[in-house]
Every structure is written in C-alpha cells, then in structure tokens.
Amino acid sequence: MIRRIRRLLLYLFSLFVLFLLQISLPVFMPFTALKPNLLLILVSSFGLLRGERTGLLLGFLSGLLIDLLFGDVVGLYALIYMFLGFIVGTFYKSFATNRILLSVSLIGAADVFYGFVCYVFLFLLRGRFHFGYYLWHVILPEAVFTMTIAVLLYPLFLKINDLLEERELMRTRRFV
Amino acid sequence: MNLFRRKEGAPWISFSIPGKYLLFILSVLSVALILVTSATDVMDHISFTALETALMPLERGLANTNRWLSDKSVMIGNIRTLQAENEELRRKIDALQTENIYLQQDEYELSGLRKLYQLDEQYQSFEKTGARVIAKDAGNWYHTFLIDKGSDDGIAVDMNVIADSGLVGRISAVGTNWARVISIIADNAAVSGSVLTTSENLIVQGSLEHYKNGKIRFSKLTDPRSKASVGDKIVTSDISDKFLPGILIGYISDIENDSNNLTKSGELIPAVNFDHLEEVLVIITMKEDYRETEKTGEAS
C-alpha cells in the first residue's frame, strides 16, 4: 500500500512541477518562442519504465490538465496524450530502458507522432493543408528540443524508478 | 471474464483493470467530454477551485520571481549607462517642457474643435483594468495565455484585451482569479477590421505560418478605387460583434489583388509586440453594452 502511495505521489508531484514549468516557460523566454514538450517526456518516460497502464493514466491526467486550462473543448488533449502513453507503454516489455539514447529517440519519435496528430486535429480539419511547412517549422523543431531536454530528464526518471523498484523488491523479499 | 482480476505488483489500484479496458473506458469518457464541451459553453464558466488555489499563486510567484531577477540584473549591469542616460534625459526634459507648452495650447484648440464636431474620445474613455500574463498555452500550435485576473475583478468572456495601445485579443474563458485570452495571432482567431483611411472592411485572420515572419494575414478587403496602401492603419471595425470599434490592430505591410479581382488580401504588422507581452489591459466595457449606450445616447 505504502509503495503504491509513494508512486502515486511521485507521479502527481512530477506532473504538477512539469506542468507548471511547461506553462511558465514563456515567462522565462520570448512569448512566441518554440517550447519543448515536458509533459510528453514525463508520460512517455513512465510509459516506458512502468508499462502501458501507467502511461495511459499519466497521459490522461496530463492531457486533462492542459484541456481544463487551455482547451477549447475538454478531452481532446486527454485523448491524444492517453493514446500516446499507451502506445509508448507497449514497448515496456521489449525495450532496454536503461539505454538512454534509445529511450530518448523513442521519446523524440513520440513527439513527432504527437505533433502529427495535433496537426491533423487542430489544423488539417480547419483546412490548413500546408503540412510540409508545419512539419519543418513546428513538429520537427519541437521534437529536437524535446529530445534535448529528455537527455537530461529521462536519466533522472530512470534513476528514481530504479531506486523505487529496488526498495519494493527488498520489501517483498523481507516478507518472503 | 476476469475484468477485475487482482494482478501481482499492480501499480496503484488494488483491483487493477487491464490496460486495454482502461484505455477504452477513458477514451469513451474523453469523447463524451469533447462532445459535451463543444456543444455547450459549460467550460467557459465552470471554476476549478482546486486548480485555482493550487496553480495560480505558484504561477504568479514564478512570474514575479523572473521579473524581479531580470529587474535586478538590469539594475546591476546598467548603472554606468544609466548615468550617461540621465544626463541626456535631463537635456531632453528641458526640450520637452518647452514643447509641452506648445502642445497644451494645441490641446485647448483640439478640445474646442472636438466639441464643435461632437466627437467623443471613445477609445480613451473605455474603462480598463491592468493584468499580468502568468502562463501560456502548453503547446506550440495556438497562442492562448492566462492572466492573473478573473471574475472576481469583473472580467467576463469576450472582453477585449489590449497592450501598447494595440489589440491583443479577447477573453475566451474566466475563472475566479484567472482568465484565458485568445490572441489575434493565434491560428484559430479572426477579427473583423477596417482600414482607417478608407473605412473599408476586411478580415484579419491569425496564422501560424505568417506569424513566423511577425505578420498577420488579412483578406476580403473591398477596395475598388485602390485607396488602401502600405502603411495604412487597420483598426477593429464597427460591424464586429465582439470587438469594440476603433482599436488599432496594425499597419498594412503588403497588399495584393485576389485572383477574383474584387477583393484584396495581404499582410499587416501588428501594433503589439507579442514577444514581450508581460502586462495587458482588459477593457471592461463590452461590445453589447457599448451598443446599448450608443442607442440610448441617440434616443435622448
């Protein structure tokens, strides 16, 4: 029970901090500058480290937070982030999560996928067909930026996850 | 069917639902939410007490810290330049004071003429309240942002937001102590405007593609005698149902004929510098009220 609460607290705390950072970024940099996607790093990192269920629940929560404050409709970002967390989470079993560059490139791929889905729902449906432009000027730069930040953030999440797993393992061993 | 089977080492719920079922349930929930919120305007008025009490003070703190830090760094770095500047400014004050006297004389003349023509200084007479930008949209697609005033300060949906005496956008959602502003450079925003010199109407359409060059696109300008030219001011038009008339949007930088030869389109440079948007003014007067006062004014 304690370990579950500890994990829940970890997820909620990092979600809260990263969300705050994400929406405060324009206060620290020019207002219209391109931003990395910190919440996507969080969702796909724990999706990779803990599996699809953690990924999709974290994704749903992150998306819902964005929706509540910024969405024209509530539920769209929740849906996008949730599927993202789920898809990344399917790599959980078959992936060497301690290979940092591999994981970071997967996070980059996830961001490109996220950008593409956002383009389809937010722009293509309103008749903006110039996909090449958005690919080169929004989606790819954002993915590169996100990967740069992920190189710093992912090892941190990996370390925290390893520590927690080690503790959980010790606890179960003690009972056996 | 073991939908609610207990799984060993389950992450957080003791009765763990398999991922795929959870995904399905939450997807249905999300789609339902999307349908409900897009069909109604529930979200514009709901307040999220937990979010507001938890997030907004922190947001404000972060914004203030940054402002304080940049103030201090400027202070330390610029003492020398400030001294030199001070000298220069003193000299300028002398010049300006003489100029001011002349201008005051002009002002007398102007107000007299205004009375003659019964012109009202509407633009300046709007009731305004200042607000700080505390957060911006999480993604890179739209340009919406949050300000630190909400319904408690008398802010309501569809109020106009200005800065540097130019149009920034309008309020799109309100909480008790925060409000969301959709800016005119956002790709999903459009404003009905008119060219100040010719009073011809046009549509100013925010566009991500054009804003990368610092410009906004306009279209559907009917200008049969080709009177509008580069550098002309574009202001919000009378026919807009959400924006008050006569607020400066920007200056025409590029204008060309459409292929139908009836209308024109082009680009304008916004009057507001969106890159350094820290404080904005919200105009408390709304278009609806403004129309009503205008009508009663005419009646009396």
SS (H, E, C) chain B: CCCCCCCCCCCCCCCCCCHHHHHHHHHHHHHHHHHHHHHCCHHHHCCCHHHHHHHHHHHHHHHHHHHHHHHHHHHHHCHHHHHHHHHHHHHHHHHHHHHHHHHHHHHHHHHHHHHHHCCCCHHHHCCEEEEEEEEECCCCCCCEEEECCCHHHCCCCCCEEEECCEEEEEEEEECCCCEEEEECCCCCCEEEEEECCCCCEEEEECCHHHHCCCCEEEEEEECCCCCCCCCCEEEECCCCCCCCCCCEEEEEEEEEECCCCCEEEEEEEECCCHHHCCEEEEECCCHHHHHHHHHHHHHC
Q: Do A31 and B62 touch (CB under 8 A)?
A: no
pTM for this model (two decimals): 0.79
Q: Do A74 and B22 touch (CB under 8 A)?
A: no
Residues B179/B51, Cβ–Cβ less than 8 Å: no
pLDDT in tens, B93-135: 888 888 888 888 788 777 766 655 544 444 566 788 888 888 8
Residue A48 lies in a domain: yes
Number of domains in chain A: 1
Residue A68 lies in a domain: yes
**Minimum-distance CB partner of B27 among A20, A33, A79:** A79
Q: How far is B112 from chain A (nearest CA, A)?
A: 43
What does the pLDDT read at residue B50?
Answer: 60
**Minimum-distance CB partner of B38 among A54, A73, A142:** A73
Average pLDDT over residues B175-180: 86
Q: Which of residues 170-199 of B touch A (CB under 8 A)?
A: 172, 180, 185, 187-188
Q: Would you place residue A26 in the very low, low, confident or very high pLDDT band (cuts 50, 70, 90)?
A: low
B274 has a chain A CB within 8 A of its CB: yes
Residue A175 lies in a domain: no
Least confident window among B6-15, B38-47, B180-189, B249-258: B6-15
Residue A22's CB: how many other CB atoms inside 10 A?
25
Residues B242/B170, Cβ–Cβ less than 8 Å: yes
Sequence-distant (6+) residues with CB within 8 A of B220 are B201, B202, B203, B263, B265
Q: Do A26 and B55 touch (CB under 8 A)?
A: no
pLDDT at residue B9 is higher than 60 = no
A111 has a chain B CB within 8 A of its CB: no
Residues A102/A96, Cβ–Cβ less than 8 Å: yes
Beta carbon pairs, A and B, within 8 Å: 156
CA pair distance B263, B259, nearest whole angstrom: 8
Q: Would you place residue B299 in the very low, low, confident or very high pLDDT band (cuts 50, 70, 90)?
A: very low
**Cα separations (Å) of A72 from A157, B107, B208, B280?**
32, 46, 17, 22
pLDDT in tens, A95-154: 777 788 999 999 999 999 999 999 999 899 888 888 999 999 999 999 999 999 999 999
**Cα separations (Å) of B182 from A11, A93, B130, B190, B219?**
31, 43, 17, 10, 20
What does the pLDDT read at residue A174?
Answer: 65
Residue A160 lies in a domain: yes
What does the pLDDT read at residue A84?
Answer: 95
pLDDT at residue B163 is higher than 90 = no
Percent of chain B with pLDDT over 90: 16
**pLDDT, chain A, mean:** 89
Which residues of chain B are within 8 Å of residue A138 when distances are taken between CB atoms? Answer: 140-141, 208
Q: Do B180 and A54 touch (CB under 8 A)?
A: no
Nearest C-alpha neighbor of B268 from the set B224, B211, B225, B201: B211
Residue B218 one-letter amino acid: F
pLDDT at residue B214 is higher than 50 = yes
Phi/psi of residue B256, nearest 5 degrees: -150, 160
A167 has a chain B CB within 8 A of its CB: no
Residue A87 lies in a domain: yes
What does the pLDDT read at residue A82?
Answer: 95
Residue A144 lies in a domain: yes
Residue A26 lies in a domain: no
Q: Which of residues 54-83 of A touch B (CB under 8 A)?
A: 54, 56-57, 60, 65-76, 78-79, 82-83
Nearest C-alpha neighbor of B155 from the set B172, B133, B135, B137: B172
What does the pLDDT read at residue A27?
Answer: 66
Q: Would you place residue B164 in the very low, low, confident or very high pLDDT band (cuts 50, 70, 90)?
A: confident
Higher-confidence position of B45 and A90:
A90
- Shortest CA distance from B38: residue in chain A: A73
Residue B158 one-letter amino acid: D
pLDDT at residue B4 is higher than 60 = no
pLDDT at residue A2 is higher than 60 = yes
A93 has a chain B CB within 8 A of its CB: no
Q: Do A37 and B139 touch (CB under 8 A)?
A: yes
Out of A18-27, A145-154, B39-48, B136-145, the most confident range is A145-154
Q: Do A53 and B133 touch (CB under 8 A)?
A: no
CA pair distance A75, A70, nearest whole angstrom: 11
Q: What CATH code is carried by the domain that includes residue A100?
A: 1.10.1760
pLDDT at residue B293 is higher than 70 = no
Which residues of chain A are within 8 Å of residue B144 when distances are taken between CB atoms? Answer: 70
Residue A126's domain comprises 2-19+38-169
What does the pLDDT read at residue B94?
Answer: 84
Q: How far is B138 from chain A (nearest CA, A)?
A: 5
Average pLDDT over residues A30-46: 89
Residue A53 lies in a domain: yes
